């Protein structure tokens, strides 16, 4: 029997949707915090295959999600291109910046990323041996625009200004950076598939700050290029695209990029996404993560509302963004019960 997640991605409308959560391996789980402490720091956890596989498996053991997402980070790829990466406690990621033509030219060749990223492929090999047979293994990468925003600003959060400035002031350098990330991402995701990923997801967390032609050039075009290249090498492997906060940009995104599924955040309603996005195929989403902090009747009602809104077509139940560290593990179990009809 084909896995539930793969059936939804193939376009099947199911009576009960498959369910998983962004950041399902994370700080809200005591077992994650223990393994992270054992690793010492976040990047060591990402680069130690046994421990990265262990934290990937923890939410599968505890909840029986239909999919496991590789434990890694979107910033490992730019790090593998050369710039230094570190995490400031309580503040998030920091990177050596890449903004000049000379710095873009000095990035390593795309093929060189495999050297740094080999432990990630090993994590996937362990997971494809150890996951329950009904669980789908998801690999991922950041989309080029989002990765570029971190490489240019050297940090995250509300820091897309640097990328917008470079795009206006030196389009050629900006485009060269996007092209380099795009090429490396194709190689990275292909290697993840060869190591056992059955689905891959492209996270474009900052797609919402691109508008008009920029959205077409830097959210749609790089995703279309990556997906086309993956489909040549691995035609059977479905791709999920997540152009977060794209708003009207979600409409037609599956058609223009070739994605098998579009993930939607919770700035749009599930009813709107069912009408405007699901008509092109599978949709993933989109419960607001704060319900897992607050729980109660609202959690059950909103979970059922998402399931109900999408029940006329292919759907993967997920959050609109990652689960937060203050979420309650019991609320996650309640959410899953509500999805599965409890
Ligand atoms: O979803 C999963 O469980 C898989 C693993 C995963 C992580 N990050 C682990 C992580 C995935 C898919 C990501 C993607 C990622 N990383 C994105 C895109 C999705 C999004 O959230 O918008 C982005 C923008 C990043 C970059 C990043 N990594 C930031 C901004 C931060 C700090 C924010 C925070 O929550 O602390 C991280 C750290 C990070 N990546 C953590 C985890 C579990 C927390 C690290 C910790 O344990 O201290």
- Residue ranges per structural domain of the chain: 71-263
Residue 73 CB less than 6 A away from ligand 1: yes
> Where residue 89 falls among pLDDT bands split at 50, 70, 90?
confident
What angle separates helix 49-63 from helix 329-339, to the nearest 10 degrees?
A: 60
Nearest to 265 by CA among 313, 319, 202: 319
- Closest ligand 1 atom to 206 CA: 22
Closest atom, ligand 1, to C-alpha of 36: 47
The pTM assigned to this predicted structure is 0.97
Mutate to test the pocket of ligand 1, among 46, 60, 322, 327 (most ligand atoms within 8 A of CB): 322
User: Cα–Cα distance between 91 and 124 in angstroms, integer?
Assistant: 28
Q: Taking the alpha carbons of 116, 119, 120, 122 in that order, is the dihedral positive or negative?
A: positive
Interval between CA 55 and ligand 1 midpoint (Å): 13
Predicted confidence band at 293 (pLDDT cuts at 50, 70, 90)? Answer: very high
End-to-end Cα, the chain, rounded Å:
24
pLDDT for the residue 342: 65
Residue 124: its pLDDT value, please? 98
Active site includes 158? no
pLDDT of residue 334: 98
Would residue 23 show up in a list of annotated catalytic residues for this protein?
yes
Give tens-digit pLDDT for 94-132: 999 999 999 999 999 999 999 999 999 999 999 999 999
Is 150 catalytic? The answer is yes
The ligand 1 atom nearest the CA atom of 21 = 1
DSSP codes joined into one string, 172-185 = HHHHHHHHHHHHHH
- pLDDT band at residue 157, thresholds of 50, 70 and 90? low
Q: What is the mean pLDDT of residues 281-296?
A: 98
How much distance in Å is there from the Cα of 322 to the middle of ligand 1?
A: 8
pLDDT of 49 reads: 98
- Residue 319 preceded by cis peptide, ω within 30: no
Task: Select from 3.60.150.10, 3.40.50.620, 3.20.20.210, 3.30.30.10 the CATH code of 71-263.
Answer: 3.20.20.210
Please state, as a whole number, how many other Cβ atoms lie within 10 Å of the Cβ of residue 40: 11
Active site residue 73: yes
How many A from CA of 136 to the centre of ligand 1? 20
User: Does the pLDDT value for residue 158 go beyond 90?
Assistant: no
* CA 71 – ligand 1 centroid, Å: 9
* pLDDT (average), residues 185-190: 98
Name the catalytic one among 150, 188, 225, 334: 150
Query: Which amino acid residue places its CA nearest to atom 32 of ligand 1?
Result: 92
Catalytic residue among 28, 32, 36, 47: 36
Q: Tell me, what's the pLDDT at 156?
A: 77
Asked if 298 is an active-site residue, the reply is no
Cα 23 to ligand 1 centroid, rounded to whole Å: 7
pLDDT band for position 159 (50/70/90)? Answer: low
Q: What is the mean pLDDT of the chain?
A: 97
Atom of ligand 1 nearest to the CA of 324: 35
């Amino acid at each position: 029997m084909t896995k539930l997640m793969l059936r939804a991605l193939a376009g099947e409308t199911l009576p009960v949707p498959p369910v998983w959560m962004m950041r399902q391996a994370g700080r809200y789980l005591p077992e994650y915090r223990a393994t992270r402490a054992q690793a010492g720091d976040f990047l060591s956890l990402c680069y130690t295959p046994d421990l990265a596989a262990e934290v990937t498996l923890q939410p599968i053991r505890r909840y029986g999600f239909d999919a496991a997402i590789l434990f890694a980070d979107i910033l490992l790829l730019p790090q593998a291109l050369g710039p230094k990466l570190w995490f400031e406690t309580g503040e998030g990621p920091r990177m050596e910046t890449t903004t000049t033509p000379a710095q873009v030219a000095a990035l390593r060749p795309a093929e060189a990323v495999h050297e740094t990223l080999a432990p990630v492929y090993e994590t996937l090999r362990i997971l494809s041996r150890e996951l329950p047979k009904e669980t789908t293994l998801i690999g991922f990468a950041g989309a080029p625009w989002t990765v570029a925003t971190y490489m240019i600003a050297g940090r995250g959060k509300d820091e897309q200004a640097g990328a917008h400035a470079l795009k206006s002031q030196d389009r050629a350098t900006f485009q060269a950076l996007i092209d380099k990330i795009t090429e490396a991402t194709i190689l990275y995701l292909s290697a993840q598939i060869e190591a056992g990923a059955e689905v891959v997801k492209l996270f474009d967390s900052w797609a919402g700050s691109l508008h008009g032609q920029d959205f077409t050039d830097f959210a749609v075009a790089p995703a279309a290029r990556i997906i086309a290249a993956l489909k040549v090498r691995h035609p059977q492997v479905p791709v999920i695209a997540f152009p977060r906060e794209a708003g009207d940009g979600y409409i037609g995104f599956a058609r223009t990029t070739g994605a098998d599924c579009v993930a939607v955040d919770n700035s749009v309603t599930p009813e709107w996404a069912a009408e405007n996005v699901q008509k092109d195929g599978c949709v993933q989403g989109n419960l607001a993560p704060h319900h897992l902090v607050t729980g109660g009747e609202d959690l059950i009602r909103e979970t059922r509302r998402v399931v109900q809104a999408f029940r006329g077509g292919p759907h993967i139940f997920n959050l609109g963004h990652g689960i937060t560290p203050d979420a309650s593990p019991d609320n996650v179990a309640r959410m899953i019960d509500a999805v599965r009809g409890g």
